[in-house]
Amino acid sequence: MNATIELLKSHRSIRKFTDEAVTDEQVREIVSAGQAAATSSNVQAVTVIQVNSMATRESMAELAGGQTWVTEAGVFMVWCADLRRSGAACARAGGDFEQGMTEHFLIATVDVGLAAQNAVIAAESLGLGICYIGGLRNNPAKVSELLGLPEQVYPVFGLCLGHPAQDPDIKPRLSVDAVLMQDTYSDAQQDAHFDDYNERLGHYYQTRTGGTKVSQWTDEMKKLVGKESRPHMRGFLDDQGFKMR
């Protein structure tokens, strides 16, 4: 194992931050590292909006379900999938932007995930802590209004950056053997690891919360994928011009 792998495997979500400032230079370097990530066909379909207005951050914290660390972090930014820029480039070259292609939507969304994770590793290499805020998708229309997002741009998630004021344990993941398969997909291979992971994750929650949280991974998946999740997203994306076909 080398230092890079050690850094990657030491990731934790940080939800408490000190008052120490994150410098503008650090922010620019972090976003620049994000830009260095792989991007399909060099589309670079990512826009990052750093939210400095505390009033806006307070609104977003509330929209995300009361996640107060949105306001407490040194920096809060929203990572957006952006096809508007590539559409403008297409027009500059004399073309007509073909709106509504599912493949273009996937390219933009994947680009955001790749770029943001690059940025996260850069931030953690500087000793900063991070927390993704997927809760912005609770009300993406309001978030878009607050940020003035035009058509062909949508907020994928927020990201808190700051100097950590806590040192949480690393949340265990599924065994590599449940994820790494050879040649074909195997239900039996992944199912064989459910009990072990339930036990390890349950112990993590018990330790982290002093015994107040009793949960297993299969229980959490039942809560997540066993019901509708943000059904408004389809209509919102349609309104933002992502009429997928």
Q: What is the mean pLDDT of residues 6-16?
A: 97
Indicate the pTM of the whole model.
0.95
Q: 44-58, 77-91, 194-208: which range is least confident on average?
A: 194-208
Distance CA 196, CA 39 (A): 36
* 3-state SS string for 73-128: CCEEEEEEEECHHHHHHHHHCCCCCCCCCHHHHHHHHHHHHHHHHHHHHHHHHCCC
Q: Using the predicted structure, report yes or no on whether residue 208 has a pLDDT greater than 90.
A: no
pLDDT of residue 18: 98
Distance CA 73, CA 185 (A): 41
pLDDT of residue 3: 95
Q: 22-26, 112-116, 190-194, 210-214: which range is least confident on average?
A: 210-214
Q: pLDDT of 151-193, one tens digit each?
A: 999 999 999 999 999 999 999 999 999 999 999 999 999 999 9
Say if strands 75-82 and 129-133 run parallel, antiparallel, or are unpaired.
Answer: unpaired
Q: 22-26, 60-64, 212-216: which range is least confident on average?
A: 212-216
Domain spans in the chain, listed from the N-terminal domain onward: 3-168+229-239, 176-208
213 pLDDT band, cuts 50/70/90, is confident
Q: Using the predicted structure, report yes or no on whether residue 210 has a pLDDT greater than 90.
A: no
Share of the chain above pLDDT 90, in %: 95
In CATH, what is the architecture of 3-168+229-239? 3-Layer(aba) Sandwich (3.40)
Say if strands 153-162 and 75-82 run parallel, antiparallel, or are unpaired.
Answer: antiparallel
Mean pLDDT of the chain: 96
54 pLDDT band, cuts 50/70/90, is very high
* 224, 216 Cβ separation under 8 angstroms: no
| Range list of β-strands (E), the chain | 46-50, 75-82, 129-133, 153-162
Give residues with Cβ within 8 angstroms of 32, minimum separation 6: none
Q: Write out the two tokens for 174.
A: 């599924």
Q: Write out the two tokens for 141.
A: 């229309």
CA nearest 150: which of 81, 90, 63, 94? 81
Share of the chain above pLDDT 70, in %: 100
pLDDT of residue 200: 95
